[in-house]
Amino acid sequence: LKKKAKAWEKEASDVNLAAVLGAGIMGGGVAYQSALKGTPIIMKDINQDGIALGLKEAKKLLAKRVDKGRMDAGKMADVLNSITPTLNYGDFKNVDLVVEAVVENPKVKDAVLREVEDAVRDDTILTSNTSTISIDLLAKNLKRPENFCGMHFFNPVHMMPLVEVIRGKKTSDRAIATTVAYAKAMGKTPIVVNDCPGFLVNRVLFPYFGGFVGLVRDGADFQHVDKVMEKFGWPMGPAYLLDVVGMDTGKHAGEVMADGFPDRMKHSETTAIDVMFENNRYGQKNDKGFYKYE
Ligand code: NAD
């Protein structure tokens, strides 16, 4: 593995300007982390509310650093100024690497990736922060699939060190090397993994969520399960983690996993995740999920 890693590293192109599509939980976090570590970034969404939320989150995290004496107000302003919010693709010809972080829906991602491919240069690297959707599937309608790979951050982006860099069948070494280098520049620990639904981490995590919703269906109290898993030594239990992830993302990602591994992860009858989703309880993003957040 090490030998191969060295071969890719030589292929890396510079990332002087990045862009993120979607200013939600993940997109906002990517913009903050990139700007904080010195790579200016354009943050695009389709609505002004999304942009406002992404910027609010970045400001909150920066203000915390200032409060703790880890940054002065001048530096905070510089970091914020290096996040350029937008609703259009105006400056995308200057972008070296794009992170797509819109909703976990293959059709929406397919449309967004094709759209951005037309807005960037031929050598710009495109990546997707998809949690579960196969990179080869997303590359299917791209003109330059060699420039495309997965760049899967974890939530919350500023705290979680791991980034999965996912190599599709047509992904070039340059795309992998550039994405690995950018992840490192953001202070993250990238691992390169092969393509499949859920990659590495979510192939482990989603069967765990499946076990949790099964327990709840059998009558377990979700708060009890959370407390037990914390005593087991995990930083949080599955219900709280689903609130952090977002019920919509959890539901859609679970469906992609069940479609991807039909022999192992069957679509089951209505789960606690479905019930939360149908009742508009999305988790921390709208202040109510398994728990309430005011
Ligand atoms: P989110 O719902 O918080 O944000 C999605 C954002 O995308 C919204 O602001 C929405 O307005 C915007 N959007 C929708 N269509 C768009 C378009 N055409 N162009 C630009 N913006 C558009 O979702 P999220 O939780 O940030 O998830 C985003 C992606 O990251 C998903 O693929 C998800 O699977 C993945 N992911 C999520 C987590 C998590 O824990 N939430 C972790 C890792 C990866």
ipTM of the complex: 0.98
Helices (H), the chain: 2-9, 25-36, 48-67, 73-81, 106-119, 135-139, 173-185, 201-217, 222-231, 238-245, 247-260, 272-278
Domain count, the chain: 2
Of ligand 1's atoms, which has the minimum distance to the CA of residue 252? Answer: 34
Please indicate, yes or no, whether residues 158 and 44 belong to a single structural domain of this protein: yes
Backbone φ and ψ for 150, nearest 5 degrees, come out as: -85, 145
Ligand 1 site: residues with CB under 6 angstroms? 21-27, 44-47, 50, 101-104, 108, 112, 129-131, 153-155, 245-246, 249, 253, 285
Strand ordering across the sheet containing 83-86: 83-86, 41-44, 18-21, 97-100, 125-128, 148-153, 162-167, 189-194
Average pLDDT over residues 22-49: 96
pLDDT in tens, 171-226: 999 999 999 999 999 999 999 999 999 999 999 999 999 999 999 999 999 999 99
Mean pLDDT estimate for the chain: 95
d(CA 248, ligand 1 centre) in Å: 10
**Residue 169 belongs to a domain:** yes
For ligand 1, mutation pick of 20, 21, 26, 88 (most atoms within 8 Å of CB): 26
Of ligand 1's atoms, which has the minimum distance to the CA of residue 44? Answer: 20
d(CA 287, ligand 1 centre) in Å: 17
Q: Is the pLDDT assigned to residue 149 strictly greater than 80?
A: yes
Would strands 148-153 and 162-167 be described as parallel, antiparallel, or unpaired?
A: antiparallel
Distance CA(93)–CA(107), nearest Å, equals 25
- pLDDT of 266 reads 78
Please indicate, yes or no, whether residues 96 and 214 belong to a single structural domain of this protein: no
Angle at 66 between CA 65 and CA 72, to 5 degrees: 125
Q: Is the pLDDT assigned to residue 7 strictly greater than 80?
A: no
Q: Write the DSSP string, 160-183.
A: --EEEEEE-TT--HHHHHHHHHHH
Distance CA(38)–CA(78), nearest Å, equals 10
Nearest CA residue ID for atom 14, ligand 1: 102
Q: Is the pLDDT assigned to residue 3 strictly greater than 90?
A: no
Largest CA distance in the chain: 55
Question: What is the CB neighbour count within 10 angstroms for residue 76?
Answer: 18
Asked which of 141, 165, 194 is the last residue of a domain, the reply is 194
Question: What is the CB neighbour count within 10 angstroms for residue 117?
Answer: 19
pLDDT in tens, 272-286: 999 999 999 999 999
Kindly state the tokens that stand for 184.
Answer: 């490192």
- pLDDT of 8 reads 74
pLDDT in tens, 233-269: 999 999 999 999 999 999 999 999 999 999 888 777 7
**Residue 293 belongs to a domain:** no
Structural domain that includes position 43: 2-194
Q: Which residues of 78-100 are buried (b: 16+ CB within 10 A; e: fewer)?
A: ebeebbbbeeebeebeebbbbbb
- pLDDT of 240 reads 98
For ligand 1, mutation pick of 105, 249, 257, 284 (most atoms within 8 Å of CB): 249
- pLDDT of 207 reads 94
28, 54 contact by CB (below 8 A): yes
**Residue 294 belongs to a domain:** no
Average pLDDT over residues 159-163: 97
pLDDT in tens, 124-145: 999 999 999 999 999 999 999 9
Nearest CA residue ID for atom 39, ligand 1: 245
d(CA 72, ligand 1 centre) in Å: 31
**Residue 292 belongs to a domain:** no
- pLDDT of 4 reads 58
Q: What percent of the chain has pLDDT over 70?
A: 98
Please indicate, yes or no, whether residues 79 and 178 belong to a single structural domain of this protein: yes
Distance CA(64)–CA(156), nearest Å, equals 15
Q: Is the pLDDT assigned to residue 24 strictly greater than 70?
A: yes
- pLDDT of 155 reads 93
d(CA 109, ligand 1 centre) in Å: 10
pLDDT in tens, 101-114: 999 999 999 999 99
Of ligand 1's atoms, which has the minimum distance to the CA of residue 253? Answer: 34
Asked which of 125, 159, 194 is the last residue of a domain, the reply is 194
Q: Write the DSSP string, 219-252.
A: T--HHHHHHHHHHTT-SS-HHHHHHHH-HHHHHH
Please indicate, yes or no, whether residues 100 and 135 belong to a single structural domain of this protein: yes
166, 193 contact by CB (below 8 A): yes
Distance CA(65)–CA(72), nearest Å, equals 8
Please indicate, yes or no, whether residues 150 and 173 belong to a single structural domain of this protein: yes
**Residue 18 belongs to a domain:** yes
Q: Is the pLDDT assigned to residue 270 strictly greater than 90?
A: no
- pLDDT of 294 reads 83
- pLDDT of 265 reads 83
Nearest CA residue ID for atom 43, ligand 1: 154
CATH number, position 148: 3.40.50.720
User: What's CA 258's distance to the chain center, in Å?
Assistant: 20
Nearest CA residue ID for atom 20, ligand 1: 45
Catalytic residues: 152
d(CA 27, ligand 1 centre) in Å: 7
